[in-house]
Amino acid sequence: MEQTAREDYDSPWKEVTERFFEPFMAFYFPRAHRQIAWDKPFEFLDKELQKITRDAELGRRTVDKLVRVHLKSGGRIWVLIHIEVQSQRDPTFQKRVFVCNYRIFDRHDLPVASLVILSDPHTNWRPSEFGYSIFGCHMKLRFPAVKLLDFIKREAKLRKSNSPFALLTLAHLKALETRHSPTARYKAKRELVKLLHGRDYLRDDVKELLRFIDWELHLPEDMDLKFWEMIDKEYPEMSKKYIASWERIAMKEGELKGKLEALRTNIIEAIQLRFGPLPSSLAEIISKINDPEILQEMHRQAIQCQSLDGFAEHLPIAV
């Protein structure tokens, strides 16, 4: 099975996309950005998106945001933004983009732009269209797709850019680069925080960006404690802004252990109820996972997956 990692699961991408929507468009989709009237208000319509896709058999959602914006040329357009945060290839991805696009068009009779971010580590996986032809009829959707791996050769520019998404893209690339080396990840995370500290961002913006960096470059518990002790010492004003990290650190070992055991038990019970006894090899992997967020995702997969093999595909190899 292909390797999965913490980077696969729900992330702060939704939050940073909404908080920094204009910089998001400027950085990843400059052509579209130039056509939007940024002097007029835009509106996020997540509840509307949920209504549109509620009855669709779309599997895991890759549709994160539906935004209504005004165009410089007049009128308004629905912009559908797909954020792909999985590290696995997904052969159904193009179809899901297509289905969401036409559902929104059918509901509102307005043009829809599907904009995609691909953050997987597979250089050659570049979905950009879906369509079919039969009896002389042709249907096709082509959509812009930004591959984050393409920024690897632009690291120097990312470091110099003031765009928050230059920093976030760099954080994602460093997460992929250091996924097998906690020591290298610690060093990369420290360098990113130094870059963040040098930017002139608002207090709440720093907190959101730091949360993203912390999530992308997840460290083992002992190194994580060491990292935040370093932040508190070298950047005390920054550590005060990032309350969530200290809430995590404040969790007592006994409390954390109890939470982890409860999550593991829930996963095993769900698997056994649906598919019978859990193979010892899978049980051993689950027993070694010490991240509550990953275990919560595993529990969700245990409930929703269609087979034991399907569940196994979502287990991280390295824990």
Is 135's pLDDT higher than 50? yes
Max Cα–Cα distance, the chain, nearest Å: 69
Name which residue leads in pLDDT, 19 or 9: 19
Is 130's pLDDT higher than 90? yes
Per-residue confidence (pLDDT) for residue 57, from 0 to 100: 52
Average the pLDDT over 163-177 and give the result: 94
Per-residue confidence (pLDDT) for residue 1, from 0 to 100: 34
Per-residue confidence (pLDDT) for residue 250, from 0 to 100: 47
How many residues are recorded in the chain? 319
Q: Rounded to an integer, what distance in angstroms lies between the CA atom of residue 244 and that of residue 237?
A: 14
Q: Rounded to an integer, what distance in angstroms lies between the CA atom of residue 177 and that of residue 184?
A: 9
Is 80's pLDDT higher than 80? no
Q: Which range has the worst mean pLDDT, 7-16, 156-165, 287-296, 300-309?
A: 7-16
Per-residue confidence (pLDDT) for residue 252, from 0 to 100: 45
Per-residue confidence (pLDDT) for residue 251, from 0 to 100: 46
Is 6's pLDDT higher than 80? no
Name which residue leads in pLDDT, 49 or 141: 141
Question: Is the four-CA dihedral 177, 183, 185, 187 of positive or negative sign?
Answer: negative
DSSP alpha helix (H) spans, 145-278: 155-160, 164-177, 182-197, 203-216, 221-234, 236-241, 243-250, 253-275
Q: How confident is the model at residue 133 (pLDDT cuts 50, 70, 90)?
A: very high
What does the radius of gyration of the chain's CA atoms come to, in whole angstroms? 21
Phi then psi for 32, rounded to 5 degrees? -65, -40
Give the residue extent of every domain in the chain. Answer: 6-149, 178-250, 263-312
Q: pLDDT for 208-245, tens place per residue?
A: 888 899 888 988 888 888 888 888 788 777 655 554 54
Per-residue confidence (pLDDT) for residue 54, from 0 to 100: 63
Indicate the pTM of the whole model: 0.71
Q: How confident is the model at residue 97 (pLDDT cuts 50, 70, 90)?
A: confident
Q: pLDDT for 34-62, tens place per residue?
A: 999 999 999 888 777 777 766 555 544 44
Per-residue confidence (pLDDT) for residue 120, from 0 to 100: 86
Q: pLDDT for 145-155, tens place per residue?
A: 999 999 999 99
pLDDT, the chain, mean: 82
Count CA atoms within 13 Å of residue 84 on its CB side. Answer: 29
Per-residue confidence (pLDDT) for residue 181, from 0 to 100: 93
Instruction: Tell me which range, 26-35, 83-92, 100-109, 286-295, is most confidently predicted by mean pLDDT.
Output: 26-35
Q: Rounded to an integer, what distance in angstroms lies between the CA atom of residue 178 and that of residue 266?
A: 31
Q: Which residues are paired to 115 by β-bridges?
A: 81
Average the pLDDT over 11-29 and give the result: 89
Per-residue confidence (pLDDT) for residue 3, from 0 to 100: 38
